[in-house]
A = this chain, B = another copy of it.
Amino acid sequence: MSAITNVPERITKTIAGTAEEQQFLQELIAAGLLLPSGEPGVYGRGMVFEDVRNRFDELVTRTGLPDQPERPRFPPILPRRTLEKAGYLKSFPHLCGAVFSFAGNEREAMSLVECASNGADWSGFLSMTDVVLVPAACYPAYPAMALRGPLPKGGVTLDLGGSYVFRNEPSGDPARLQMFHQREMVRIGAEEDVLAWRDVWMKRATGIFQQVCLDATLDVASDPFFGRGGKLLAKNQLAQGLKFEVLVPIASPGPTAVSSFNYHQEHFGTAFGITQHDGSVAQSACLGFGLERITLALFRKHGLNPSSWPTEVRTVLWSA
């Protein structure tokens, strides 16, 4: 199956990218900041890009130190069963990535290779494995926390670092990657603690974006739920203020979301059986910084060469 002939309209519409997005992508490639792979939304990254990304990542780490978070790390795959239990497929079936592999015999392997060599479809030789790609960095953390038994009094705060997440949305916009680093923190515990923590981080994030001189706005937001039923979910999410986003201009017609602050109520606590010290269901919130998008926003705003960025930005990122 080829991406060009057999993809839904949703994808073909976005895959090309606007003229401005395309031009920015070409500038990034010419400067060696992104290395094209031949596939939209999949790029290598040059040393200068990575330096900026890592410096911003460290700025987030420093900002979160007062929380004294635990710092577990998770790989970019998780059990398929976790995705099923989390309810992801109901909301975002179009974005999921399931891992398929080959479990056949030698004759079938030869046919597979022959198909692949001729540019024919070899998907029929594969079957679904028990793992899927991580769609949001916090998903593996909930079952891991549930396994430990009831939370300590005061709950837990996790700093998950910059984890790779997958979204099936190939796009010509360099700010829309199929896999990217989500710099994520999670708070699990009582309602008031979870909400207070999210409020603190919305203020901290606003401060971070001011420090690096990006034109950021914080606004209530909704997730890209699938289908007509998803429109209602999005409406409820907006009305209840469950999701906020920081938006900055990159190369798209409107500003791009680079950070989000999400209140899950009891969703993950119920799905994975996470309880508080008193036995009641735990609530949770998470926040994420899209590191590649923020790096791109910095290049867009301050120029492609960080050595000529404003002194205040350089000081914040490189002097700590």
Contacts and interface: CB of A to CB of B under 8 A. Distances in A.
Nearest to A36: B147
Contact of A73 (B45, B78, B96): B45
Contact of A126 (B104, B128, B130): B128
Contact of A102 (B70, B96, B131, B166): B96
B133 A99 contact: yes
A58 interface: no
A250 B264 CA distance: 41
Nearest to A123: B128
Interface stretch (A109-117, A192-200, A201-209, A210-218): A109-117
Given A117-B84, A129-B168, A227-B106, A72 B96 contact: no
Given A121-B128, A144-B35, A98 B101 contact: yes
Nearest to A99: B97
Interface stretch (A1-9, A275-283, A297-305): A1-9
A171 to B, nearest CB: 13
A3 to B, nearest CB: 4
Contact of A116 (B11, B89, B168): B89
Contact of A109 (B46, B143, B177, B227): B227
Contacts of A179: 75-77
A67 interface: no
A213 B144 CA distance: 33
A49 to B, nearest CB: 8
Contacts of A177: 75
Contacts of A78: 37, 39, 42
A60 to B, nearest CB: 17
Interface residues of A, number: 80
B98 A112 contact: no
Given A47-B71, A50-B71, A98-B100, A130 B170 contact: yes
A309 interface: no
Contacts of A228: 106
A164 interface: yes
Q: Which 7 residue pairs spanning A and B have beta carbons closest together? A: A123-B128, A101-B168, A39-B79, A106-B227, A75-B179, A93-B102, A3-B130
Interface of A: 1-3, 6-8, 11, 35-39, 42-47, 50, 70-79, 81-82, 84, 89-90, 93-104, 106, 109, 112-113, 116-117, 121-123, 125-131, 133, 140-141, 143-144, 147, 164, 166, 168, 170, 177-180, 226-229
19 contacts: A3-B130, A36-B144, A37-B79, A37-B140, A39-B81, A39-B131, A44-B75, A44-B141, A44-B144, A75-B177, A77-B179, A89-B116, A93-B112, A93-B113, A94-B102, A96-B102, A98-B126, A99-B166, A100-B126
